[in-house]
Amino acid sequence: MLKKSFDDIVPPKKRTIRDIKNSHIKKQPKNVVEPENDFEYNSGYGDDIKKPKGSRFALWFVAFIIIIIFILAFSLLFTGAKVSIIPKQSKTLVEARFDAAINADVGELSYEIMTIEKTDSKKIEATGREEIEEKASGKIVIFNDFNSSSQRLIKNTRFETPDGLIYRINKSVVVPGQKTEDGETIPGSIEVTVYADEVGEDYNIGLTDFTIPGFKGSPRFEEFYARSKTTMTGGFVGEKLSADPIDLANAKEEIHTELQKQLMNEAFSQKPDEFYLFEDMIFVEFEPKGSSENGDEVEVTESATLYGVLFNKEKFANHIAKNTIATFDDESVEIVDIATIIVTISDKDTARPWEDEEFEFTVSGNTHIVWTFDKDQLKNDLSGRAKAALPTVLSGYPSIEQAEVVLRPFWKRSFPDKISKIKIEQTLDK
């Protein structure tokens, strides 16, 4: 037997995973060029396939767009300007007397009169009967269509109906002059109570017109007139239930106390915002409205009229500044805390500002006077302007001493176009 040598034995070729993995790939001819693409295969075992080259760029681009959108949204939502203003101001101790007049001349302070009327009644026990004579009364409105000057009508001025019945006012009144509203001339007017010239039921009448006999023969006769606000009632002659005088006096006192309380509350609640009403400038007068029978009781009725002196806030502050600050040049000012001063009327027991057309009053205390400016106009002047233009804009506002600006967002260099985005804050000395 022929023996085979060891060298003739060739061991079979060992196959690897690489051979198995790539065994299905056909060899490309040498002259064939592989198409270029974004992917390259690595024949090494376990190598990852590379990601597309453009994917990382796309992520950065999206992130950049998001940041831009965020910045724009932030700018739109939070854009604004805050202007901190320190106005010109002065603190002055005032101890002085001043004059006020309804028809104020140059250098005088003008005022207006607030009038409120209320009526109340109270029942008390009757103690007997007595003969009563009472005059009718009611409210009328007096009109001044003559000129723009006010007209004073003295106590007992007569008002005549077309039927010749005479009624009178029991106190002096001042009828305001004409005023112009929306290009139309409006007559001045005032509401008053008139009383029949005689007792009795004949003067209990309905609504009517009145002339003023005292103006007959003058141009005022046609331009001054009156009209009923209420009917005329209360005229009586005859027998009525009567009450004990002490009970009657106590009932009237209780009515007066309640009426005064109600009138004071109404005066301060109804006062226009642009006016001052000081407590010492309020007067209340009471008038008896007679009594009536209510079953077995006597019903006592009283009427009260409140007269309140009103000062325009701006004119009042201007008048105080003009008379207490040497360098004041008739500018627009306001008093910051009116409670720091005391305003009292001189000789209040005898003063009647609603009749006399002028009076004297005293002001005492520390006043904090601040120069004012038009905030809306300042916003308009600043809108859309560069921050650097602030000094130029403020040169037209002499009442402003100092101003600081904060713009949002911080990189902004101009004021917003919308004035609603501009906020103005005022800082005052303490």
Higher per-residue confidence, 47 vs 162:
162
331 within 8 A of 315, measured Cβ to Cβ: no
Ranking 102-111, 244-253, 289-298, 306-315 by mean pLDDT, the lowest is: 102-111
* Greatest CA separation for the chain: 179
d(CA 81, CA 79) in angstroms, rounded, equals 7
| Confidence band of 2 (pLDDT split at 50, 70, 90) | very low
Residue given tokens 């299905």 in the structure block: 24
| Helices (H) then strands (E): counts for the chain | 8, 21
d(CA 395, CA 381) in angstroms, rounded, equals 11
Q: What is the mean pLDDT of the chain?
A: 86
Segment 116-126 mean pLDDT: 94
Note the pTM of the prediction, 2 decimals.
0.70
- Cα 121 to its chain centre, rounded Å, is 36
pLDDT in tens, 90-117: 998 999 999 999 877 777 899 999 989 8
DSSP state of 60: H
Residue given tokens 């804050």 in the structure block: 425
pLDDT score for 45 = 46
pLDDT score for 53 = 57
pLDDT score for 46 = 47
In order of 83, 101, 104, 274, the CA distances from 400 in angstroms are: 12, 33, 31, 23
pLDDT in tens, 58-68: 777 777 777 77
Q: Which percentage of the chain shows pLDDT scores above 90?
A: 65
SS3 string, 171-230, reads CCEEECCCEEECCEEECEEEEEEEEEEEECHHHCCCCCEEECHHHCCCCHHHHEEEEECC
pLDDT in tens, 379-392: 999 999 999 999 99
pLDDT in tens, 189-232: 999 999 999 999 999 999 999 999 999 999 999 999 999 999 99
Segment 83-89 mean pLDDT: 94
Segment 234-253 mean pLDDT: 93
d(CA 209, CA 229) in angstroms, rounded, equals 10
d(CA 411, CA 158) in angstroms, rounded, equals 77
Asked whether residue 5 carries a pLDDT value surpassing 70, the answer given is: no
Segment 302-321 mean pLDDT: 94
Ranking 6-15, 178-187, 234-243, 244-253 by mean pLDDT, the lowest is: 6-15
Ranking 94-98, 149-153, 237-241, 352-356 by mean pLDDT, the lowest is: 352-356
What is the domain partition of the chain in residue ranges?
111-324
Asked whether residue 125 carries a pLDDT value surpassing 60, the answer given is: yes
pLDDT score for 4 = 39
pLDDT score for 32 = 47
pLDDT in tens, 403-419: 999 998 878 899 999 99
Closest CA to 299 of 377, 376, 234, 243: 243
Segment 262-279 mean pLDDT: 95
Asked whether residue 375 carries a pLDDT value surpassing 60, the answer given is: yes
Instruction: Give exposure, 186-210, as e/b (b: 16+ Cβ within 10 Å).
Output: ebbebebbbbbbebeeebbbeebeb
pLDDT score for 315 = 94
Residues forming beta bridges with residue 368, ordered by sequence position: 91
169 within 8 A of 279, measured Cβ to Cβ: no
Q: Measured in Å, how far apart are the chain's first and last C-alpha atoms?
A: 131
Asked whether residue 24 carries a pLDDT value surpassing 90, the answer given is: no
pLDDT score for 150 = 87
The amino acid present at 29, given as its one-letter code, is P
DSSP state of 268: H
pLDDT in tens, 29-59: 555 444 444 444 444 444 555 555 567 777 7
The amino acid present at 163, given as its one-letter code, is D
pLDDT score for 37 = 47
Closest CA to 195 of 291, 70, 124, 288: 288
| Confidence band of 235 (pLDDT split at 50, 70, 90) | very high
393 within 8 A of 382, measured Cβ to Cβ: yes
Closest CA to 359 of 97, 155, 150: 97
* H/E segment holding residue 359: strand 358-371
